[in-house]
Every structure is written in structure tokens, then in C-alpha cells.
Amino acid sequence: MKDNFKFIGKTLYFPERKVLVLGDLHLGWEESLNEQGIFVPRRQFQEIVRDLNEVFEKIKKEKIEGEGRIKEELEEKIKEIVVLGDLKHEFGEISEQEWREVKGILDIFKAKAEKVVLVRGNHDTILGPIAERKELNVVDYYIKEEICFLHGDKIFPECLDKKIKMLVMAHRHPAVVLSDDYKKEKYKCFLVGKWKSKKIAILPSFFPFVEGMEVANLEDNGMFIPEEELKEFKAYVVGDEVYKFGKVGEIV
């Protein structure tokens, strides 16, 4: 099966295709808080880089354990990195520091993969110029054979084409709250399910610090898949590893 995928930290990895998917990095979030008068220290960039390196390490390990190949081959690049939008947080003007950070992240991607695909998110309105500088295109959606990658805030007719078997998206920042009467904790999670007879995978945000939004009775979840249907999706909870839970609507 070529659409086999693995959960690696907050990312999705297709081993056969060597495609790594992640979304919602929201670089510059701190800056936007500063704009609102909140004196937040700048930690986000470092944390994102650290988390990314962990992902790359794990992919290496997967190869060793999974395929038992020899060392040289491990250096073989990931073929593609697909960013599912909202690489950058703010809509407004872009600062020097943000330029540097966005460029820094793109450089890391380019060094690790043969191809980098940037899907446009609802926050990415001004990503264009930087991407251009790095000779990258920003697309509304990206179709690779029977898989379609998109941000998730809106749907495009091409994504609904019959030959598309699977949609991979982000945008929703899904999270679950686990509770045992006394204690409550929130975790980032993947949601996997079916919609319009296509397989759907929704990624958690890669953004550190904040877990995300619980699947609850939201009237408007900002997605084209109604919240009611999301409740039928299965949750894969991100901890030290990724744990499979049942239907997200049934987790208490």
C-alpha cells in the first residue's frame, strides 16, 4: 500500500513515498503577541527547530529498524516535505526577525528534502515573497497521485475528484482532553476518518506551547467538514509516542 503512513511526533510520514507532512507552525506568534502588548520571550523558533530535528532523527531510526539498510543509505534525503499551511502566523507586515525565521525553517526543509511544497493557509497571505526568494511556490492544494494535500479551511473541486482517495490537512489544531474525574490534561492529536468516501487525516499543529482545540460542539469549526462528523473520527494522541484512541467523540 502506497498510502501507508506513520505518525512521527506531530508529523505524518509516508515511508514508501518518503513524504513528510506537517502544518500550522505559526512562526511569529510571539511577535504578534508583542504587538498586542504582551511581553513574551522568543522561544518558538528554537523549539520548532528542536522538534523538527527530533522528527528527522526518528525517520532515520525508522529506516534502520524497519529496513535494516546500511548506513550510507540513511543519508538519502526525504523526497518531499509538504507544509500544510500557516507556516507564518500574522497577516500584517513582516518583520526582520520573522523573515529570518521563516527563511531559516525553509532552509532546513530544503536541506532535508529534495522537494518542498508549501500549501497556502489562511494565515499565509504574505508568504509569497519569501517563498519566491527560496524558489518555492505556494499552492492552494497539492495532489500527488491519489492523495491531496490542503490546508483545510476550504475545499477545491479538484480535491473532490474521484481519483483522489485521501485528503491530508491541518488547520483545525485538533486536541483531546483526557480526564479521570479528578484530573484533566490536554494533548495534541491526529484525527483519522472518512468523509465523502475519502480517507481523511487531520494533523495537529506543529506549533509548540499550545495544544490546540478540543473536538466539541462547535457551531463553526472553520473547516468544511462539520464538527458532528469529526466526532466519528479516530483520535491518535501525541505523547512521547502516538497512542491510538477510539472515536474522538467517545473519549471521556
Partner 1 sequence: MIEQINKPNSDKEILNSLTPLVGKWFKEKFGGFTESQKYAILPIKGRKNILVSSPTGSGKTLCAFASILDYLISLEEKGELENKTYCIYVSPLKALSRDIEVNLNTPLKEMEKIRGKKLGIRVGLRTGDTTTTERSKMLKKVPHILITTPETLAIVLTTRKFVELLKGTEFVIVDEIHSLANKRGVYLSLSLERLEEISKITPVRIGLSATVAPLEEVANFLVGQKRDCLVADVQFIKKTDIKVITPVSDLIDVEGQFLHSSLYGLLDRLIQEHKTTVVFTNTRSATERVVHHLKERFPDKYLENIGAHHSSLSKEHRFNIEQRLREGKLKVVVTSTSLELGIDIGYIDLVILLGSPKSVARSLQRIGRAGHKLHDIAKGRFIAMDRDDLVECCVLAKEAMERKIDKIQIPQNCLDVLSQQIYGMAIYKIWEEDEMFSIIRKSYCYRNLSREDFLNVLSYLSGEYELEARNVYAKVWYDKETRQIGKKGKLARVIYMTNIGTIPEESFVSVQIAAGEGIGQKIGVIDEAFLERMKKGDVFVLGGQKYQYMYVKGMNIYVNSSVKRPPTIPSWFSEMLPLSFDSANEINRFRKLVEERLKQKNSPEEIKGFIEQHLYCEKEAGEAIYNYFYEQFRYAVIPHEKKIVIERYKGEKNYAIFHSLYGRRVNDALSRAMAFLVGRAGGRDIEVGIRDNGFYLAGEKLEIEKALKFLNSKNVEEILEEAINKTEVLNRRFRHCATRALMILRNYKGRRKTVGKQQMKSHFLLASVKRISHNFPILKEARREVMEDLMDINNTRVVLDRIKEGKVKIEQINVKLPSPFALSIVLEGYTDLLKMEDKIEFLKRMHKEHLKEIEERK
**Footprint of partner 1 on this chain (CB under 8 A)?**
30, 33-43, 95-97, 177-185, 187, 209-210, 214, 216, 237, 239-240, 243, 245-246, 251
Burial of 58 by CB count in 10 Å (0-12 exposed, 13-18 middle, 19+ buried)?
middle
Is residue 150 within 8 Å of 140, Cβ to Cβ?
A: yes
Strands 78-83 and 113-119: parallel
Q: Which of 152, 179, 151, 148 is nearest to 166 (CA)?
A: 148
Is residue 218 within 8 Å of 227, Cβ to Cβ?
A: yes
- Within 10 A of 51 (CB to CB), how many other CB atoms are there? 17
- Residue 65 vs 181, nearer CB to partner 1: 181
Rounded to the nearest whole angstrom, what is the least distance from the CB of residue 68 to partner 1 in the complex? 29
Instruction: Say which residues have a Cβ less than 8 Å from residue 176's Cβ, sequence separation at least 6.
Output: 186, 187, 189, 214, 215, 235, 237, 245, 248, 251
- Residue 43 vs 69, nearer CB to partner 1: 43
- Residue 67 vs 250, nearer CB to partner 1: 250
Is residue 203 within 8 Å of 12, Cβ to Cβ?
A: yes
Rounded to the nearest whole angstrom, what is the least distance from the CB of residue 184 to partner 1 in the complex? 7
Rounded to the nearest whole angstrom, what is the least distance from the CB of residue 185 to partner 1 in the complex? 5
Enumerate the β-bridge partners of residue 99: none
How is residue 80 written as a grid cell? 518531499
- Residue 99 vs 224, nearer CB to partner 1: 99
- Residue 139 vs 177, nearer CB to partner 1: 177
- Residue 162 vs 182, nearer CB to partner 1: 182
Q: How far apart are CA 3 and CA 18, in angstroms?
A: 11
Rounded to the nearest whole angstrom, what is the least distance from the CB of residue 97 to partner 1 in the complex? 5
Rounded to the nearest whole angstrom, what is the least distance from the CB of residue 101 to partner 1 in the complex? 10
Rounded to the nearest whole angstrom, what is the least distance from the CB of residue 202 to partner 1 in the complex? 19
